[in-house]
Amino acid sequence: MTSNIPEVVILRLPLYARVLRGLADRGEDVVSSQRLGDLLHSTPAQIRKDLSYFGRFGKQGRGYRVDHLLRELRQIMGLERQWSVILVGVGQLGKAILTYGGFAPQGFHVVAAFDSDQSLVGTSVGSLTVQASGELAETVKQHQPQLAIVAVPGHACQSVVDMVVRAGIKGILNYAPHQAQVPEGVWVRDIDPVGALQSITYYLKPNGS
Amino acid sequence: MTSNIPEVVILRLPLYARVLRGLADRGEDVVSSQRLGDLLHSTPAQIRKDLSYFGRFGKQGRGYRVDHLLRELRQIMGLERQWSVILVGVGQLGKAILTYGGFAPQGFHVVAAFDSDQSLVGTSVGSLTVQASGELAETVKQHQPQLAIVAVPGHACQSVVDMVVRAGIKGILNYAPHQAQVPEGVWVRDIDPVGALQSITYYLKPNGS
């Protein structure tokens, strides 16, 4: 049931979950594909098509049950369990990531942090002690984290990603301004603030639509 | 020529620009839609379709001229000019954003920073002095920045976005874990690290494809 689903649909699922959570928090029980489309800046037809990949959630003309759909989507996305994450790069951005309160409530727990800067190794950030990058492979072997967040400068990105992949990690969130190459079966998502700004400026030009 | 282009295509343009810049830096003159597809994790047909919205760049069977395509795309995206940006929220994340070296080389210049925390107002971060949020409207009026970066906690996001929109700014990069509502004609992009992680875990589940 969950094979051959286009990646672009998978990429939209977190947004569905976020919007449904908002509806649930406001006490709404049922939502139409029209309303979901409005909230997701998409068409009702697209919403119905996306959700049809995962089974039959809606009843014709009655909309979707918010709590049911949210629970099912979270199950499908693997969000009903806890995930262990390592962080590589404890500069200003890495520190912001470690003190960001948004990960843990969603089941993502940063369990170790690494930096190649010896002056940072051994220092405490939040509840973690920064480890040397050389210890990464051994720590991954011991604690089996599933995900890595990479917050290093662009020039260091590929070698850090290579190290993380060699250690056996299959999912990487990359904050570095560099598109890392990874082997088949490893998933990378880029945090790309410049790209995000660039996708706005098109609309702000005098001749933008 | 540039109207009615699907937003999803506009969202891909920064990635095209990034990949083409990489090819140009490696001294490659010509690139095929097949190669672009590989680099962009897309199909050659999708590449040709995307680029066809903006005119006829490629010659049948000969590929695209890298420098020409890059220059044209940058022109279309409005990247040949400089953009002024304000930052709202100078916590740990805001500080990381202010010291991030990736914006200015791409033409995005943070010209003012605001925070509601009086203990931060008047302090220096990089080359800027943090201003009180109450000064935002007046500063925007004077300096006419086109973009805002919002790096505040989720609960403060909507009111900050409202303030930024009231001041006349049409493009917002939002780091807060909250989907802000904005009027028609205002463009928001969310930096959503949790969503990015959630779009990976689907593939890491035992039954993921």
Q: Which of A4, A81, A200 best tests the B interface by mutation, with the highest count of B CBs <10 A?
A: A200
Instruction: Tell me which residue range forms the domain holding A13.
Output: 7-76
B-facing residues of A in 79-118 (CB < 8 A) are 79, 83, 85, 91-93, 95-97, 99-100, 102-103, 106, 108
Report yes or no on B63 lying in a domain.
Answer: yes
Q: Which of B28, B49, B75 is the last residue before a domain boundary?
A: B75
- Using CA atoms in the order A80, A82, A86, A89, what is the torsion angle rounded to 10 degrees? 60
Q: What does the pLDDT read at residue A58?
A: 64
Angle between helices A193-204 and B66-77 (to 10 degrees): 70
Instruction: Say what the pLDDT of residue B24 is.
Output: 93
Q: Which two tokens stand for residue A48?
A: 């119905």
Residue-by-residue pLDDT tens, chain B, 209 positions: 445 788 778 888 888 988 898 899 999 999 999 899 888 877 788 888 888 887 776 666 678 999 999 999 988 888 888 999 999 999 999 999 998 888 998 899 999 999 999 999 999 998 999 999 999 999 999 999 999 999 999 899 999 999 999 999 999 999 998 889 999 999 999 998 998 999 899 899 764 44
Which CATH number fits the domain that encloses residue A60? Answer: 1.10.10.10
Chain A residue at shortest CA distance from B41: A7
Distance from CA of B14 to the nearest CA of A (A): 5
Q: Do A202 and B76 touch (CB under 8 A)?
A: yes
CB–CB contact A191 B187 (8 Å)? no
Chain A residues with CB inside 8 Å of B108's CB? 194, 197
Regarding pTM above 0.95, the answer is no
Q: DSSP readout, A41-62?
A: TS-HHHHHHHHHTT----BTTT
- A60, A76, A92: which is the final residue of a domain? A76
CATH of the domain at B87: 3.40.50.720
Last residue of a domain, one of A15, A46, A76: A76
What is the pLDDT, as a whole number, of residue B206? 64
| The residue to which tokens 């947004």 are assigned | A15
| Prediction ipTM score | 0.85
| pLDDT for residue B167 | 98
CB contact under 8 A, B171 and A200: yes
Select from B77, B149, B193 the Cβ nearest to the Cβ of A202. Answer: B77
The reply to whether B207 falls in a domain is no
Residue A209 is assigned to a structural domain of this protein: no
A98 and A187: one domain? yes
Q: Do B10 and A196 touch (CB under 8 A)?
A: no
| pLDDT tens per residue across span B59-99 | 666 789 999 999 999 888 888 889 999 999 999 999 999 98
Of A41, A171, A179, the CB nearest to B200: A171
pLDDT at A48 over 70: yes
**pLDDT at A178 (0 to 100):** 83
CB contact under 8 A, A179 and B22: yes
B182 assigned to some structural domain? yes
When divided into structural domains, chain A yields a total of 2
